[in-house]
């Protein structure tokens, strides 16, 4: 359970970084862009002894992995904006409840998973969608500005910076983008990743896609005069990039510890991230949850439990 617990904490650390960046005047966009080279270096240093890394452009999975990396950085940018504008709890709920999307694709498109959905599973899917809506509901404008440049421009164009405006849609965007990237990751695991040794190579290739996309976006904004690179943003990239990779790495170790039983590990991981994120947000940032938000939090945990109750009971019975 140690690796699973570490993965949960490291994942929440990513959200805490986003929440703290405005306080220390760290540009979230630049921190995200530079986080991926840090993430790649961290993963490269953790390559198993005797294993090397290289790009093979003749392989289909190489191009899919690079494209997935572009999706990752776009999703990360949305997560940063959502965390700063809508709060840690709403963003963590949206990202973790996105498991509904890959689950549906696994069952009805990829036709894998080894089980048939029953009434409780379908109820869990419905509750997950409702939970996202309730958890993102806010009556009062948030005091935090949208610090991510692209979304800051969008928010300014629709009204005063303090108004929520399109920010209400940010957790929904996080939900959809995480669902899409996780679905593609699942597809690549089914179609192209035959061994666990290949998983870290595919991961590093994916990170390179994010590196290329992020640096291109940054160069364009610098040329346009919209960005000035500062050292403090590079420091933010370190605090973001190291836990970014380690959260994934410890999750892999947790899966190995439980015999690769993702149906057992992932629900516990998702529930853990939701609860720990909500607890830390309340303790350290005094995020106020409305009654609707609290109901959404309870429904989120209930939804994940209903989605995987068969696997949870089977694993606990062993």
Q: Count the domains in the chain.
A: 1
Residue 143 is predicted with a pLDDT of: 40
Report the half-sphere exposure of 250 (CA within 13 A, side-chain side). Answer: 18
Condensed to tens digits (0 to 9), the pLDDT of residues 147-198 reads 444 444 433 333 334 445 667 788 889 989 988 887 887 677 667 765 556 6
Q: What number is the average pLDDT over the span 283-302?
A: 82
- pLDDT for residue 36: 92
What does the pLDDT look like over 217-252, one tens digit per residue? 999 989 998 888 898 999 999 999 999 988 877 876
Q: Is pTM beyond 0.85 here? A: no
Residue position matching structure tokens 């960005």: 227
Residues 6+ apart with CB under 8 A from 241: 34, 35, 36, 37, 38, 39, 41, 42
Among the listed ranges 64-68, 137-141, 148-152, 208-212, which one has the minimum average pLDDT value? 148-152
297 or 13: which leads in pLDDT: 13
Provide the residue range defining the domain that includes 255: 2-317
Region of poorest pLDDT, from 11-20, 257-266, 271-280, 298-307: 257-266
Cα angle 276-293-241, degrees, rounded to a multiple of 5: 40
Which pLDDT tens digit goes with each residue over 78-128? 988 888 888 887 787 788 778 778 767 766 777 655 556 678 878 877 887
Spatial distance between the Cα atoms of 221 and 228, rounded to a whole number of angstroms: 9
Supply φ then ψ for residue 179, to 5 degrees. -60, -40
Q: Give the Cα separation of 171 and 5 in Å (integer).
A: 25
- Per-residue three-class SS string for 247-287: HHHHHHHHHHHCCCCHHHHHHHHHHHHHHHHHHHHHHHCCC
- pLDDT, position 148: 46
Residue 84: what pLDDT? 82
Confidence of residue 133 (pLDDT cuts 50, 70, 90): low
Say what the pLDDT of residue 13 is.
Answer: 92
Q: Return the ∠ at Cα 133 (arms to 121 and 278), rounded to 5°.
A: 90
289 CB contacts (<8 Å, ≥6 apart)? 89, 278, 282, 297
């Amino acid at each position: 359970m140690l690796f699973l617990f570490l993965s949960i904490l490291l994942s929440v650390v990513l959200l805490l970084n986003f929440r703290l960046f405005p306080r220390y005047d760290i540009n979230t966009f630049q921190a995200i862009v530079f986080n991926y080279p840090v993430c790649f270096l961290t993963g490269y240093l953790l390559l198993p002894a005797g294993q090397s890394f290289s790009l093979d452009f003749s392989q289909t999975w190489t191009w899919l992995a690079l494209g997935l990396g572009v999706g990752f950085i776009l999703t990360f940018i949305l997560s940063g904006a959502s965390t700063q504008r809508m709060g840690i709890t709403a963003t963590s709920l949206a990202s973790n409840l996105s498991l509904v999307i890959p689950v549906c694709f696994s069952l009805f498109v990829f036709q894998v998973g080894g089980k048939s959905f029953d009434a409780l599973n379908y109820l869990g899917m419905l509750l997950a969608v409702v939970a996202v809506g309730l958890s993102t509901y806010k009556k009062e404008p948030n005091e935090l500005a949208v610090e991510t440049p692209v979304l800051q421009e969008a928010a300014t164009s629709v009204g005063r910076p303090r108004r929520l405006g399109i920010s209400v849609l940010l957790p929904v965007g996080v939900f959809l983008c995480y669902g899409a990237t996780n679905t593609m990751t699942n597809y690549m695991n089914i179609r192209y990743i035959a061994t666990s040794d290949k998983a870290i190579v595919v991961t590093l290739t994916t990170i390179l896609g994010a590196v290329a996309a992020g640096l291109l976006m940054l160069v364009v904004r610098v040329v346009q005069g919209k960005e000035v690179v500062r050292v403090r943003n590079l420091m933010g990239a370190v605090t973001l990039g190291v836990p970014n990779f380690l959260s994934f790495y410890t999750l892999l170790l947790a899966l190995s510890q439980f015999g690769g039983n993702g149906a057992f590990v992932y629900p516990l991981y998702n529930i853990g991230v939701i609860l720990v994120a909500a607890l830390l947000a309340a303790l350290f940032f005094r995020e106020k949850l409305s009654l609707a938000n609290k109901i959404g939090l309870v429904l989120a945990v209930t939804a994940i439990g209903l989605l995987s109750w068969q696997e949870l009971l089977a694993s606990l019975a062993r």
